[in-house]
Amino acid sequence: MGVDKAIFTPVQSKRAFEEVSSKIKTLIFKGALKPGDKLPSETELASQFNVGRQTVREALRILELSGFITVRKGYGGGPIVQDTILNQISNLFSDAFQMEKISLEQITTARITIERAILEHAMENADSQDIKALEDNLNRAKKKADQNMMCLDENIEFHKLLAKASKNPVFVIVVESVLAIMRAFTSRLPPDPETCKKAVQNHEAIFHGIKEKNVEKAIESLERDFLELKNRLQSLAAQDTAEVET
Amino acid sequence: MGVDKAIFTPVQSKRAFEEVSSKIKTLIFKGALKPGDKLPSETELASQFNVGRQTVREALRILELSGFITVRKGYGGGPIVQDTILNQISNLFSDAFQMEKISLEQITTARITIERAILEHAMENADSQDIKALEDNLNRAKKKADQNMMCLDENIEFHKLLAKASKNPVFVIVVESVLAIMRAFTSRLPPDPETCKKAVQNHEAIFHGIKEKNVEKAIESLERDFLELKNRLQSLAAQDTAEVET
DNA sequence: TCACATTTGTCCGTATGTATC
DNA sequence: AGATACATACGGACAAATGTG
């Protein structure tokens, strides 16, 4: 019976700042450190871990970029535990997009595929609170749309609420991450109330499909929502020829 | 028509190391720096940007974690442009999953839902290279399984190859992240060659389904693969009563 | 408004480890 | 084996920001 390889692997020399950052990370994972908690100052951490301040700073940079902490300077400042992982994921996604590792087409395809699959779970597991949250969202969005105002945040929230209704955190994380990218896209384009209005209509159709337990109707409306959005984005992006580097 | 908020936001004072890292990032985006290119040493960068070495180091940490460079020590070493963005995104996803304490039940449900949806894309887009890669994987796994050896890595790789065959990097990222969590589950349990053997059989069935363009067969086998694995893991976890914190 | 303390941000000098030639 | 070039790491110092009294 062959013993699996990789039992003695951790011999690779981890750099000191990686050691420090992963120790703090572990404390956060274990729940010993919770969002809102204040970490000791850099000098304090340095003496506690018995390393130099520079090492601590590089560890903090890692934790910051990984979305575990934020840092404030000045009196009463310092590192604070705060979960911004989803933001960091969307930042990396937009990097990947700029590197042309990912296209708008691919992201849209992934959204359609994943959210359609999730929708069935959402319809099975949604409770009255979820229904109410969706209804509230639609009311707010409709009010804005009727006044020809933008309702981008509400429209994004609608999809988040759908994922939440599935009662599966894996779905929530995946959907929220992909939505963060979509938001990065749309915020760069000129605002278009017409697109928002269309989306609200599709969301209403999805909602009715859910309430009526009509899976086909819900999925059909969801796909229409995606495709219309993609077409809008593509035509807007095409108009946006005068693109300037920052 | 309401003007969108956040027009005067960019007043925030960017820290020096952020300035440095985003300047280097821009060079990579523009193509002035390509994968394989060697960046100047830390001291060189410090004098060129007219900042201290510590500032450069923190900038390099950011670029490293963002997946733009890797760093080698020693003679002839230094920062090297290298694209590992997609891997870094997967790492962040894994962190996000770990933050929510996800159950085996939830992760299995998510895997079934997501990977089943991806499988259809894989069957549409798989080329001869993908088929060959899957075949190679199966041959290696079978050889090990026949000798009653563990073939966990090969079994995980099989699902990664499926995602890769979809030709959509977003799918690859999601699947790799979910697999990382599954690996965390399995590595905590005692190794069980029987589980591996079963998985290889299911993978073969999936593979044949793909080759025969038989979607139903492939999906059915995929679901069997997941459910058997879940049951195995649950019974193993039940036996493993003496669970201790690390 | 004006100090004042705290903490990050930044720089410098120096020493050590490490990989290549 | 020794020299070289580089990252890694420590300690001290000062500037800048931020909240308190």
Q: pLDDT digit string (tens) for A67-97? A: 999 999 999 999 999 999 999 998 998 899 8
pLDDT at A244: 44
A42 in reach of chain B (CB within 8 A)? no
Give contacts of A58 with chain B, Cβ < 8 Å: 57-58, 61
SS3 A65: helix
In the predicted model, is pLDDT for residue A173 greater than 50?
yes
List Cβ neighbours of B104 (8 Å cut-off, separation of 6 or more). B185, B230, B233, B234, B237
In three state form, how does the secondary structure of A67-114 look? CCEEEECCCCCEEEECCCHHHHHHHHHHHHHHCCCCCHHHHHHHHHHH
Q: Which of residues 101-130 of B touch A (CB under 8 A)?
A: 102, 106-107, 109-110, 113-114, 116-118, 121
* Helix and strand counts by DSSP (H, E) for chain B: 10, 2
Phi, psi of A74 (to 5 degrees): 85, -175
Task: Give CA separation, B160 vs B56, B104, B108, in Å.
Answer: 36, 19, 16
Q: Answer whether B1 touches A (CB < 8 Å).
A: yes
What nucleotides of chain D have any atom within 7 angstroms of a protein Cβ? 3-13, 16-20
- Residues counted in chain B: 246
Q: What is the pLDDT of residue A231?
A: 85
Residue among A65, A164, A20, A125 nearest B17 (CA):
A65
Q: Taking 60 as the threshold, does the pLDDT of residue A7 lie above it?
A: no
Asked if residue B50 keeps its beta carbon closer than 7 A to nucleic acid strand C, the reply is yes
Contacts of A4 in chain B (CB under 8 A): 150, 152, 191
How far apart, in whole angstroms, are the C-alpha atoms of residue A194 and residue B18?
Answer: 38
Stretch A105-109: mean pLDDT: 88
Nearest CA in chain B to A58: B58
Task: Give chain B's residues under pLDDT 50.
Answer: 1-10, 242-246
CA A168 to CA A205: how far, in whole Å?
A: 23
Rounded average pLDDT over A199-222: 94
User: What is the rounded (10 degree) CA torsion for A180, A183, A184, A186?
Assistant: 160
All CATH 1.20.120.530 domain ranges in chain A, comma separated: 87-245
The verdict on a CB contact (< 8 Å) between A173 and B93 is: yes
Does the distance separating the beta carbons of B121 and A171 come in below 8 Å?
A: no
Protein residue at shortest CA distance from C1' of D16: A74
Strand C proximal to A77 Cβ, under 7 A: yes
Is residue A54 less than 8 Å (CB to CB) from chain B?
yes
Question: Residue A133: exposed, middle, or buried by beta-carbon count in 10 A (0-12, 13-18, 19+)?
Answer: middle
Angle A215-239/A193-211 helices, nearest 10 degrees?
Answer: 170
Query: In the predicted model, what is the mean pLDDT of chain A?
Result: 89
Amino acid identity of residue A32, one-letter, is A
- Chain A positions touching B54 (Cβ under 8 A) are 54, 57
Which amino acid is located at B95 in the chain?
A: D
Pairing label, strands A78-81, A69-72: antiparallel
For residue range A174-196, list pLDDT tens digits in order. Answer: 999 989 888 877 877 788 888 88
List the structure tokens of B8: 């005067």
Q: What is the pLDDT of residue A92?
A: 93
pLDDT computed for residue A11 by the predictor: 52
Q: Does A93 touch chain B (CB under 8 A)?
A: yes
Number of Cβ within 10 Å of residue B132's Cβ equals 10
Task: Please give the residue that has the higher pLDDT: either A8 or B195.
Answer: B195
Tell me what the mean pLDDT of segment A117-128 comes to. Answer: 94
Distance (Å, whole) CA A57 – CA A69: 12
Picking from B171, B181, B19, B12, the residue whose alpha carbon sits closest to that of residue B96 is: B181
Residues whose CB falls within 8 Å of the CB of residue A162, separated by 6 or more in sequence, listed in order: A115, A118, A119, A122, A134, A175, A206
Average pLDDT, integer, range A107-122: 92
What is the distance, to the nearest Å, from the Cα of residue B243 to the centroid of all Cα atoms in its chain?
28
- CB-based contacts of A187, cutoff 8 Å, min separation 6: A152, B4
Which residue has 């075949």 as its token pair?
B135
Instruction: Give the residue-averaged pLDDT of A138-154.
Output: 92
CA atoms of B155 and B203, how far apart (whole Å)? 8
Q: Are the beta carbons of A169 and B102 closer than 8 angstroms?
A: yes
Return the bridge partners of B72, or none. Answer: B78
What pLDDT shows up at residue A1?
44
Q: What is the CB-side half-sphere exposure of residue A16 using CA atoms within 13 A?
A: 12
The closest of B240, B141, B147, B227 to B189, measured between CA atoms, is B240
Instruction: Report the C-alpha gap between A100 and A107 in whole angstroms.
Output: 12
**CA of B27 vs C1' of D17, distance in Å?**
31
Asked if strand C contacts A54 at the CB level, meaning under 7 A, the answer is yes
Mutate to test the interface with A, among B3, B106, B155, B170 (most CBs of A within 10 A): B170
- How many whole angstroms separate alpha carbon B219 and alpha carbon B222? 5
| CATH of segment(s) B87-245 | 1.20.120.530
Mean pLDDT along residues A30-47: 96
Closest CA in chain A for residue B17: A61
More reliable by pLDDT, A246 or B48? B48
Check pLDDT > 70 for residue A150: yes
Nucleotide D10: closest residue by CA–C1': A52
- In chain A, which residues fall in CATH 1.10.10.10? 5-83
Using CB atoms within 10 A of its CB, is residue B191 exposed (0-12), middle (13-18) or buried (19+)?
middle
Angle between helices A152-165 and A193-211 (to 10 degrees): 20
Q: CA–C1' span, B76 to C19, in Å?
A: 8
- Would an 8 Å CB–CB cutoff place A217 in contact with chain B? no
- Domain A5-83, CATH class in plain words: mainly alpha
Nearest to A174 among B54, B169, B174 (CB): B174
B227 has a chain A CB within 8 A of its CB: no
CA distances in angstroms from B158 to A1, A124, B90, B239, listed in the order given: 23, 31, 17, 28
